[in-house]
Structure 1
Amino acid sequence: MTSPHFPVRPDWLAQRREAVLAPEQPIFDCHHHLWDRPEGRYRAEELMTDAQDGHDIRASLFVQCRTGYLTDGPEALRPVGEVQTILGWTQAQPRYPVGLIACADMQLGAKVAPVLAALTGAGQGRLRGIRNATAWHGDPAIRSNPNPPPDGLLRSDAFLQAAQELARAGLVLDIWAYQTQLSEVAAIARKVPDLTVVVDHCGGPLGLTPYRSAEAFDAWRKGLAQVAALPNTRIKIGGFGLTVMGHRYADAPVPPDSAQLAEDWGPHVQVCLDLFGPDRAMFESNFPVDKGQFSYRTLWNAFKRLASPLGQPERDALFWRTAAQTYGIDESLFTP
């Protein structure tokens, strides 16, 4: 299937170049992808161009996206190729990424243990967690993956058994799910209390019709509250460039500025902060997925605007400390 993401248009993005706000704020970009696909390339060079564009990006975290899988050998071990590929691409910049979220088939259940061991070995000390493709909706218009997964993965006994193996291995579980699946996310976190569960992209609030309504917003908030009530959960704030969020900045003649983004995203960000607090929330770029809608510089300026009413300890939590603690990253990277 074709990509559901907006294409990256450098000439369009270049029309908006605002000054960097709070350039002294250290940042850990805790969610980005790397790939080389027909629709575009985003490898080490492209990542570093963004990371060095004015904001103080001290380190980053790669999240699986089916890059460079092995093409032979046991099917379960083919995601090891992604870890090898990413480390090969980024060997000159070991902090970008400083950690990796890989893929392991959670439908293997308890048999995922040797796969986790293989990924850990390939990761050379940088493997931090696992994520699967699990965002599913019955409406085919709601799609954030070129190959959407089937329904029911998060509810399966196998997924729960694999989650228990992650906890034993000391790995984090990242989950990308839509708001309609948040009760399933909460069930996993409740049944495996020793596992840290990170909910990606604000818990998947949907902005497409018929979900662009006050009732849908309230349903998202209530679903997310179930997750936030569990102490072993965390949330990534971002992903607003995803088509399923409903924003259509890419349709405008010029890119949005950070003031517009902060205004548009404010209600969702405030709910995330009210439910999780800065000590369990973290800002993410979700690049290059979101790059079709706004630039890296504008994105982080928007987050800085949204965090500006908070004190410095709370801002540090959102921009780096929560993510560093969640993923076991050396905090000295972000301090003087």
Structure 2
Amino acid sequence: MRVTDAHIHFFETDRYRYSWLDEEAMAGITRPFGPDDYLAIAADGPVDVTATVHVHAEPDPDTDQFALLRHLQELREQKGLPSAAIGWADLSAPDLPDLLTALAEVEVFRGVRQHVFHPPPGEEYPTQAPRPHMMAEERWRAGFTELGERGFTFDLLFWSNQLPEAVDLLEECAGTRVVIEHALFPSIWPSFETWRQAIRALPAHDNVYAKVSAFGQMGTVTTDKVRPYIEELLDHFGTDHVMLASNFPVDRLHSSWDQLWNAYLGAVSGLSVTEQDQVLRSNALDAYGIAGA
């Protein structure tokens, strides 16, 4: 079965600093993880990975983002992956137009991941946004709109208390293509029903996709565990707007490669062959503008 792995990370700890990996829970993935490591893991699994999307892995803020993207381009030329890269930019920065112009010159670049999620007072997350209401800021929204006008994608993840702002953003700035990361982190919602209500509140227009990933936060991934979430996403967004991803190496903390993909395959086994191909492969190609995979 051919798949597009729509969310992977390379951790080049000998080249970049990732402070969030200092968390005790991340102890199992602090060593370098690059293309060769990924290819070795995926080589004999239940799926044939024909395309990959590298998503910004949150190196420390002083990282040269353009140099990092150029490095990913070099890896693509040398190793064949990633097929596409989601980089980082501050959408509220005055020099955003110049930065996007520079990033666009790197072939592998497809869009931006800037964390906007900010838990309520009393809760913290290692890579949370610096300000709680970025999605509502006029300057930030202007940058978000410009990203879409240039044909790029935004990877979005927000906290449960930010749902109204996210809904408003997706309704008012519908021209920007958005991929909702990690199935909206089911683990942060009080129950499946509250998560389901949040999903149902999100606009399901042509520019909104949902990415199933990071279920490792709920423990070992199994078909029974992920099926109700995948079915709900498919019912709301449609079989042409949902994609799957490994989130490796992070989800390797909780599940093996085979466990993860066998769980996914079991969860979508009731779909038609065409629908399975959409969810497993082609939707991610469309969302991230990847050709020939």
- TM-score bin, normalised by smaller chain: 0.7 to 0.9
Q: For 1:248-287, what aligned pairs fall within 5 Å after superposition?
A: 249=219, 256=220, 261-287=222-248
Q: For 1:19-98, what aligned pairs fall within 5 Å after superposition?
A: 25-37=1-13, 39-54=30-45, 55-67=47-59, 78-94=64-80, 96-98=81-83
Q: Deviations over 1:202-240 (max 9, x none)?
A: 122235xxx443xxx323222222224333211001211
Which structure is larger by alpha-carbon Rg, 1 or 2?
1
Moved over 6 A (4+): none
Q: For 1:172-183, what aligned pairs fall within 5 Å after superposition?
A: 172-183=153-164
**Alignment partners' CA distance in 2, 1:87 and 1:126:** 6
TM-score (norm 2): 0.87
**Alignment partners' CA distance in 2, 1:147 and 1:188:** 19
Q: CA deviation at 1:92?
A: 1.8
**Alignment partners' CA distance in 1, 2:3 and 2:289:** 15
Distance 1:81 1:66, change over 3 A: farther
**267-276 vs 46-55, which deviates more?**
46-55
Q: Is the 8 A contact 1:136 1:150 kept in 2?
A: yes
| Aligned counterpart, 2:119 | 137
Q: Is the 8 A contact 1:112 1:165 kept in 2?
A: no
**Alignment partners' CA distance in 1, 2:256 and 2:44:** 10
Q: Tell me which amino acid in the other structure corresponds to 1:135.
A: F
Structure 1: tracts of 5 or more residues without a match: 1-24, 72-77, 250-255
Q: Is the 8 A contact 2:148 2:175 kept in 1?
A: yes
Q: Deviations over 1:79-118 (max 9, x none)?
A: 1122022233443223x21111110111216x41111111
| Aligned counterpart, 2:199 | 224
Distance 1:113 1:172, change over 3 A: same
**Alignment partners' CA distance in 1, 2:76 and 2:287:** 22
Q: For 1:178-197, what aligned pairs fall within 5 Å after superposition?
A: 178-197=159-178
Q: Is the 8 A contact 2:153 2:177 kept in 1?
A: yes
Q: CA deviation at 1:170?
A: 0.8
Within the candidate set 110, 120, 130, 1:128 is matched to 110
| Aligned counterpart, 1:301 | 262
Distance 1:67 1:172, change over 3 A: same
Q: Tell me which amino acid in the other structure corresponds to 1:29.
A: D
TM-score (norm 1): 0.76
Percent of paired sites with the same residue:
24
**Alignment partners' CA distance in 2, 1:189 and 1:284:** 22
Within the candidate set 108, 112, 131, 2:93 is matched to 108
Q: Tell me which amino acid in the other structure corresponds to 1:64.
A: H
Q: CA deviation at 1:126?
A: 1.7
| Aligned counterpart, 2:216 | 241
- Over the aligned positions, Cα root-mean-square deviation in angstroms equals 2.2
Structure 2: tracts of 5 or more residues without a match: 14-20, 22-29
SS at match of 1:128: strand
